């Protein structure tokens, strides 16, 4: 998620610079920099202050398994509401005596 936020911030800053250059009438040129330079520039501008309150540390393994479960659940629910699931849902809902409207 942090990587995506950095990319979005970089794209927005490039868009703003291009718009300013066009309004001034200068030719637009996209700077040729490496991703390390971009990410360090964005990271320094978007750093947050650390909270002074003591937080209980969460181990990486607990965080990883929590994200797996959340993502898996989201994928299942997204599939259940998609048109691809209709053939499968028809037989299941018929056995349960439900309609698709009730299911959704």
- The pLDDT of residue 73: 93
- The pLDDT of residue 71: 92
Q: Which two tokens stand for residue 49?
A: 């202050």
d(CA 16, CA 67): 34
- The pLDDT of residue 35: 53
**CB–CB of 39/6 below 8 Å?**
yes
**CB–CB of 66/58 below 8 Å?**
no
Q: What is the pLDDT of residues 16-44, one digit of tens each?
A: 888 787 777 765 555 555 555 555 655 55
Within the chain, which residues score under 70 in pLDDT? Answer: 1, 26-54, 58
d(CA 40, CA 46): 10
- The pLDDT of residue 62: 75
- The pLDDT of residue 95: 92
- The pLDDT of residue 103: 87
- The pLDDT of residue 77: 93
């Amino acid at each position: 998620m942090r990587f995506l936020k950095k990319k979005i911030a970089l794209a927005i800053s490039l868009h703003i610079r291009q718009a300013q250059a066009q309004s001034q009438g200068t030719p637009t040129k996209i700077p040729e920099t490496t991703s390390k330079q971009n990410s360090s520039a964005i990271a320094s501008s978007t750093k947050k202050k650390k909270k002074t309150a003591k937080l209980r540390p969460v181990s990486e393994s607990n965080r990883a398994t929590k994200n797996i479960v959340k993502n898996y659940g989201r994928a299942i629910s997204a599939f259940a509401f998609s048109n691809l699931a209709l053939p499968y849902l028809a037989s299941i809902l018929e056995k349960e005596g439900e309609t698709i409207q009730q299911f959704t």
